[in-house]
Amino acid sequence: MVYDPDLNLLYVGTGNGSPWIQAERSPGGGDNLFLSSILAINPDTGRLVWYYQTTPGDNWDYTATQPIILTDLTIEGKTRKVLMQAPKNGFFYVLDRASGELLSAEKYAAVTWASHVDRATGKPVAMAQSDYSKEQKLILPSPAGAHNWQPMAYNPDTGLVYIPAMNDPAIYERRKDFEFIKGINNQGAHFSEGTITSEIGDFDAGEAGGFLLAWDPVTAKPVWRHKLGDFIFHGGILTTAGNIVVQARDDGLLVVYEADSGKVLQKIQTGSSILAAPMTYRIDGVQYIAVMAGYGGGPFGYFPVGSAVEKYGNEGRLLAFKLGGGTVPLPDELPPLGPIPKPPVLTASAETLAMGKKLFTKACGECHWNINGGYPDLRRMSPEVHAAFKDIVLHGQREPLGMAGFGDILSEKQVEAIHSHLIKLAQEAYDGEQAKK
């Protein structure tokens, strides 16, 4: 949200509903106000002054909670007080912030769910490819969006907005076995990384991944861009009056660009995957750029191959830079993963294992992907953790470490089923390692 002192308005971006898929959430259709919208609220009265819905009837988790920038722009010879946002849905919006009038909405990334935004109605024109209520569909953007929470930045000197953007196709599929369970993820759909097919039209598979985009909000066109690699999540943006743009990346590089041209001026290896936006300040005439170094957010369950977090781990640090500063000290490299511990003997029935798999997917799999990432790979549980599994999951034994208890939504029998499913996964992984010896 952001406050406008000139108009005494508070602008609030809203997210999607649950379940994600409208066929489950609202079978009758409709816009589903006020999902994925920008609301202008009078903070003195709490009353709504105007609203603009970026994604009516949202099916794809295309939230409008991304950062909002306020400025004045000269559009068609007239100075307008505007609001700018690059939400998940892939369109860059410029709105008159006094009235909510749509001034422009153009694609800033690859988009296949809608052909365009109709200026007369202000609504996106959805395409058939966007409807996955009856069969799975490959759609751009993914639920991660074309821009996530990482801040974009506006430079009034260049007139450009700098966006940490991404092209990320995903296969969306309605859950045929959807069942509402209070207190856990009830999105009613699941998705996976998509294979590029003719369904995405003329989208170039080589363009998948993250990129830094310089966007002109007056002409509603890109000015320059840099591809950042195959992975989608990189750092937020800083731009300064010194005609520079600064962004950190998942590979640990802090990169300085010329703001007007996009020319790369400097690359600094930090040894940390960074998602935060840098900031700048001055002390005794010396300018500094500082950034919170560390990885997190939605992709925390997976450490990308070739990333700094995969190589060095996720040691949180505050890094500060100045002209003529020293070399950044790199963390020690992580040691190789050890072997999978031998799991307990599996005694559960096929019925219990099936129940455990379903419950794990719905209640646990949002974090525990059982791959190299920020959350524990539960195939690698020690004998001590296996012994304490019920107390950890039901009673929150490790709540101070961030693992909440699920005793309010899971029964002891259900937790035992989940544990059995994990023992089965661990046994399969253990047997696979033993077979290679």
Q: Judging by beta carbons within 10 Å of its beta carbon (0-12, 13-18, 19+), is residue 303 exposed, middle or buried?
A: buried
| Termini Cα distance of the chain | 56
CA angle 177, 183, 185 (to 5 degrees): 45
Half-sphere exposure of 261 (CA within 13 A, CB side): 4
Among 71, 93, 67, CA closest to 82: 71
Rounded Cα distance between 271 and 329, Å, is 8
Of the candidates 4, 31, 58, 61, the residue annotated as catalytic is: 61
Backbone angles phi, psi at 106, to 5 degrees: -125, 155
Rounded Cα distance between 245 and 255, Å, is 8
**CA max distance for the chain:** 76
Work out the number of other CB atoms within 10 angstroms of the CB of residue 217: 23
For residue 399, give the DSSP letter.
Answer: G
Rounded Cα distance between 359 and 418, Å, is 7
- On whether the CB atoms of residues 122 and 55 are closer than 8 A, the answer is no
Residue holding tokens 């005794």? 284
Rounded Cα distance between 431 and 112, Å, is 43
| E-assigned strand segments in 284-364 | 286-293, 317-321
- On whether the CB atoms of residues 126 and 90 are closer than 8 A, the answer is no
CA angle 39, 40, 45 (to 5 degrees): 120
Rounded Cα distance between 437 and 9, Å, is 66
Residue holding tokens 């912030």? 97
Active site residue 431: no
State the helix-helix crossing angle for 383-395 and 412-436, rounded to 10 degrees: 150
Task: Work out whether strand 114-117 and strand 124-126 pair parallel, antiparallel, or are unpaired.
Answer: antiparallel
Tokens of 309: 């977090």
- Catalytic residue annotation: 61
